[in-house]
Amino acid sequence: MRDVLDAVASGELSPAEAEARLAGYATTDAGRFDAARERRRGIPEAVLADGKTPAEVASMAEVALETTGRAVITRATADHVAAVTDDLPVDATVHRDDRARTLVVRAPAFDPPVLDATVAVVTAGTSDAAAAGEAAVLARTIGATVNRVDDVGVAHLGRIVDNLDAIRAADVAIVAAGREGALPTVVAGLVDTPVIGLPVSTGYGFGGNGEAALSGTLQSCTVLSTVNIDAGFTAGAQAGLIARAVDAARDD
């Protein structure tokens, strides 16, 4: 503790960095940022922009960069993105995905993790791309290689059959589908790759807004795991944890 206090006194550490080292989190006016989450859990803390003002998101992103070297923002609007990027260091690296509504900012000295593991992110249709994109961003952030297989829904089974080799080559697959949510079940029945079903809120009428897709994946006849509706972050994080385990096993 004395070393941390001395570093603050000398200006080598900011108060936020010191708090993060001592408590594992840093406190801001917008909330507490869990700076130790990636070390503790293997998943980086992300700032959920939904429900927060642009100023609050920018404050949290600043502390994330200061304490971990990286800021991951999800469900961000254009106003959130503008607030975060307005005051960034000129040499910061910014990766923005407008469809997935994600923003990842890295400080110049940040060394991103790299895993010897691949995650396939599969979509039934283009309408599923937002949730799938969020999952892909999280898996990449954890360090996995991500391969996209898009628009292979069950309305034409030939599309998924033509792409089975790519999914089988992956260490884990995230399969996103709306409407009746059939694609994760079909894929899980055709590959030995672990499958994470990601139900998406596309569809309409009875069972719309993702309810039928969620029910379908929960009731899957083939073995798979299921996350909540539009929970791309959760699917990407779960796939990333599997990728970490695969990478560790390959190192052994």
The dotted CATH code for 118-251 is: 3.40.50.1970
Average pLDDT, the chain: 88
User: pTM score, two decimals?
Assistant: 0.87
Tell me the C-alpha to C-alpha distance, in Å, between residue 85 and each of 101, 119, 149.
14, 29, 31
Q: What pLDDT is recorded for position 236?
A: 97
Q: Please compute the mean of the pLDDT values over residues 116-141 and round it to a whole number.
A: 96
Residue 244 is encoded by which pair of tokens?
Answer: 């970490």
Q: Please compute the mean of the pLDDT values over residues 116-140 and round it to a whole number.
A: 96
Residue 47 has pLDDT above 90, yes or no: yes
Residue 37 has pLDDT above 90, yes or no: no
Alpha helices in the chain, H assignment, sequence order: 2-10, 15-23, 37-41, 54-68, 78-86, 129-142, 157-161, 164-168, 183-188, 211-218, 232-251
Annotated domain spans of the chain: 2-106, 118-251
Residue 64 has pLDDT above 80, yes or no: yes
Identity of the amino acid at 151? D
Weakest-pLDDT range from 11-25, 27-41, 66-80, 92-106: 11-25
Contact predicate 201/210, CB 8 Å:
yes
